Every structure is written in structure tokens, then in C-alpha cells.
Amino acid sequence: MKLTKQNKINTDEKAIDKILNRGTIVETYPTKEDFREKLLSGERLRFYIGFDATGSTLHLSHAKNFILLEDFRKLGHEVIVLFGDFTARIGDPTNKKETRGVLSRDEVLKNIEKWKQQISPLMDFNDKVNPPRILNNHDWLSKLTFEDIISLASNFTVQQMLERNMFDKRIKAGNPIHLHEFLYPLMQGYDSVAMDVDVELCGTDQTFNALVGRTLLRKLKNKNKFVVVATLMENPKTGKMMSKSEGRGIFLDTNSEEMFGEVMAEPDEMIEILFTHVTRISLQEIQTIISGNPKDAKTKLAEEIVKIFFGDTEAKMARVNFDKTFSKNRMSNNALRISVHSGVNILDVPFPKEFIKSKNELRRLIESGAVSSVDSGEKITNTQTKVLNDINLKIGKHRFIKLNVK
């Protein structure tokens, strides 16, 4: 391992290239070559990744970003996990066809506490020398004056903001764009200025906002920030992302047995993707694993992922219990998981279209007795039923969906 004496930064080319070439990073601004050269220089960089705690749980697509951030921390760099306790109340308009509702600060802070627990297995917060830092953007965004906001806004044009695809889609659909949504990229961009960062990690859906921050840093501090863009975990066949809005994902607020079963429920085409972005098994070993039986590969994957969050012992127990239950068809391997608000009418649950084509179809299924609780076997025949607690649903003979109350 090659270390500089002053900052103890690992500048070993193999270690750096191992991170850069794994496949998780899909774009780097200004260039990958410039970023690599900076990492090789031995300068200690300040990295950050930001998330708005708009819900109570994260999923594996989020987890891979924290794992990537931890890779850079292990090289000796400073890393910051930023929770958008201010921006979460506004709501990022990215990929939203309609304006988000405003959350209370109490709701956001409760979500943040849950998220801290969920990411603790992914990063070494107990490191005595170089622990990750957790910051909240309420600390600086809440202090900006109207004069400050006007000054920041003067760095951009309306035309630049309208370049965002979701705004163009809303205009064509005749849906409103609220003024505060224009300000969201500005607020996220100012986070980079407030923390004086060198590198921002983000998903492809956040590239626009991250580049706004790059522009602000250059104009206000004459500093060039690197933007490192990570892939979103997308099913290569369907194009669907692992996300709450898609009604699918392996969520982190679960137990070891459920997580194991949810990994096993992923389609075969997701095996290599999850191995690559969530585990740290070598790419060569991954190719060896996936060249064999898909079920064996998926079982290995499930055990490796559960091990990250719950440890080796629980991972092995989860595998044993899966063989006793899921493999005997007590719960179908294609079970999806959907997060819903307490009290939602069952007809208003956002079931994926490939499972339930319409609300009318769901109504017919309920009234015909084709919807039941997996755990109790009780049929749900009332279309006015409200979802008050977590429930595993069986729809017809082969469709299984887990509803989790937020």
C-alpha cells in the first residue's frame, strides 16, 4: 500500500483503479482522467453524498452509493453524509410529474434517525482516525436571507432550469411547476459551497443538481468540484429501477430472513448487477459465480448481501430458514414489496401494472375472493379495506406482494 506520510492517503494505482473501473461509476465531471490524476496526487479530498429523508427507509440502490463513498474513505479521504433535512421539506422535483407535498421537520428528522441506523453497517462510523461525518443542510440553508437567495439565483437563467426533462414534461402535460421547485437545484448546489467539497457522489438522476453545485463553487470560490455519477440499479430487460416509485426494491429496514428472501425474489438478470454494485467480491470471482447455476449464484448473492447488514451468522441462518420456507413455496419467490401510508384504501395501493392492470381489475379480484393474507389465509373481500399494518398479500394463484406501512 502506497501512503503519503502527511495525510496517509492511499495513492496505489491498483487500489484506485479497482474503484474507478468496477462499473458503479458511469460518468465523471470534468473527466475520469482528471479525477484519477487527483486521486493519485495524494491530496486529501473532501467527498460528500446527499439524500433527502423523504421516506422512512432506504433500499439497496441507495446502499451501493454509501458503499462507494466508503471505498474512498478507506483510501484516507474525508467523507460526508449529508442529510437534506431542509431540502427534504421542499421536495426534489426530479422525475416527479407533479409537485410533492411539503413534509414537516419532525417527519424528516424521524426519517433521518431511521436512515442513520440503516447505513451504519455500510460505513465505519467507529473509525478512530477518519470516521465519516454526518451533516444536515438545515444548518446553513435556514440561515440564508432573501438577499442571499437572489444573489445565488442570479448565477442561473430560467432557460437553464427548464433544461430539466421533468419540467419539460410537466409543461407539455399542462401540469404546474411551482417556483420553489426551481429553487431546489439552487439549494442542493449551495450545499457544495457551504461544505467546501472537492467531490460530490450522486446518482444519474441527480446529475443536473450536482452540476449546479459545480457551477456555484466555481463562481463563488473559484474551485472546481468533481462530480462522480453512480449508476442506478436498473433491470436490463424491463428498464425499471429499484425504487419506491416503481414499487420494487430490497429495503434496508427489514430483518435478515426477509432480506434473504427478497434477494432470491430478484430476477436472474439482476444477479450480476447486485454482485457488482453491492458486494465487494472481485469482478473475476463474480464471473465464475454467475457462470454456474443461477439459483446457486443467487443464493450466494443473498448470503453475501445479508452478511453486510447482519453478519455472517445471521446470513447463514437466513439461508437455512429460506430453504425451509421459501423453497417450499410458503411464499412465492417473485414477491414484490410496496411501501404505503397507514390507512390507505387497498384500492389506492400503487400496485405495479404488470401485477394489477387497473383499479377496476383489483376491485374484481377482491370481490371474487382472489385476494388474501398469506399469513392468516383470510380473504379480503371488502374493497373499502384500509391497510393499517404490514401484510403479505396473495393475489390469484401466483402473485405475491408485501405491503409495508410507513
Name the percent of the chain lying above pLDDT 70.
Answer: 90
Separation in Å, CA 326 to CA 318, 321, 384, 397, 403: 11, 8, 31, 16, 18
Using DSSP bridges, classify how beta strands 399-405 and 371-373 pair: parallel, antiparallel or unpaired. unpaired
Residues 272, 134: one domain?
no
CATH number assigned to the domain comprising residue 155: 3.40.50.620
Residue 249 in any domain: the answer is no
Residue 270 in any domain: the answer is yes
> Strand 371-373's sheet: what is its strand order?
336-340, 399-405, 391-395, 371-373
The residue type found at 120 is: S
Asked whether 346 and 386 are in contact (CB, 8 A), the reply is yes
Q: What HEC string does the chain produce?
A: CCECCCCCCECCHHHHHHHHCCCCEEEEECCHHHHHHHHHCCCCCEEEEEECCCCCCCEHHHHHHHHHHHHHHHCCCEEEEEECCCHHHHCCCCCCCCCCCCCCHHHHHHHHHHHHHHHCCCCCCCCCCCCCEEEECHHHHCCCCHHHHHHHHCCCCHHHHHCCHHHHHHHHHCCCCCHHHHHHHHHHHHHHHHHCCCEEEEEHHHHHHHHHHHHHHHHHHCCCCEEEEECCCECCCCCCECECCCCECCECCCCHHHHHHHHHCCCHHHHHHHHHHHCCCCHHHHHHHHCCCHHHHHHHHHHHHHHHHHCHHHHHHHHHHHHHCHHHCCCCCCCEEEEECCCEEHHHCCCCCCCCCCHHHHHHHHHCCCEEECCCCCECCCCCCEECCCEEEEECCCEEEEEEEC
The CB density around residue 13, as the number of other CB atoms within 10 Å, is 11
pLDDT(382) > 80: yes
* Cα separation, 308 vs 283, whole angstroms: 18
Asked whether 78 and 47 are in contact (CB, 8 A), the reply is yes
Residue 241 in any domain: the answer is no
Residues 219, 308: one domain?
no
Residues 279, 395: one domain?
no
Which range among 107-121, 176-190, 217-231 shows the weakest confidence by mean pLDDT?
176-190
Residues 190, 76: one domain?
yes
User: Within 13 Å and on the Cβ side, how many CA atoms surround 278?
Assistant: 29
Which residues, including other chains, have CB under 8 Å from residue 361's CB and lie 6 or more apart?
A: none
Residues 116, 212: one domain?
yes
Residue 251 in any domain: the answer is no
* Cα separation, 124 vs 111, whole angstroms: 21
Identify which has the larger pLDDT, 56 or 26. Answer: 26
Residues 121, 30: one domain?
yes
Question: Structural domain of residue 392, as residue ranges?
Answer: 336-405
Can you tell me the mean pLDDT for 7-29?
95
* Cα separation, 259 vs 270, whole angstroms: 15
Region of 164 on the Ramachandran plot (φ > 0 left; ψ -120 to 50 alpha; else beta): beta
Asked whether 68 and 74 are in contact (CB, 8 A), the reply is no
Separation in Å, CA 107 to CA 56, 111, 358: 9, 6, 31
Segment 28-48, tens digit of pLDDT: 999 999 999 999 999 999 999
CATH number assigned to the domain comprising residue 272: 1.10.240.10
Please count the residues of the chain: 406
CA 220, distance to chain mean position in Å, is 30
Residues 318, 348: one domain?
no
Residues 168, 62: one domain?
yes
Residue 166 in any domain: the answer is yes
The reported pTM is 0.78
The residue type found at 199 is: V
Residue 1 in any domain: the answer is no
Residues 260, 225: one domain?
no
Residues 132, 183: one domain?
yes
CATH number assigned to the domain comprising residue 395: 3.10.290.10
State the average pLDDT for the chain: 88
The residue type found at 104 is: S
Decide which of 308, 328, 348 is a domain's last residue. Answer: 328
* Cα separation, 406 vs 404, whole angstroms: 6
The total number of structural domains in the chain stands at 3
The CB density around residue 171, as the number of other CB atoms within 10 Å, is 12
Segment 277-296, tens digit of pLDDT: 999 999 999 999 999 988 89
Segment 191-231, tens digit of pLDDT: 999 999 999 999 998 999 999 999 999 999 999 999 999 99
Residues 65, 175: one domain?
yes
Residues 322, 344: one domain?
no
Decide which of 302, 328, 354 is a domain's last residue. Answer: 328
Segment 293-350, tens digit of pLDDT: 888 999 999 999 999 999 999 999 999 988 876 545 455 545 678 888 889 999 999 8
Decide which of 277, 298, 328 is a domain's last residue. Answer: 328
Winning range, highest mean pLDDT, from 56-60, 89-93, 132-136, 247-251: 132-136
Residue 239 in any domain: the answer is no
pLDDT(171) > 70: yes
Region of 293 on the Ramachandran plot (φ > 0 left; ψ -120 to 50 alpha; else beta): beta
Region of 135 on the Ramachandran plot (φ > 0 left; ψ -120 to 50 alpha; else beta): beta
Residue 243 in any domain: the answer is no
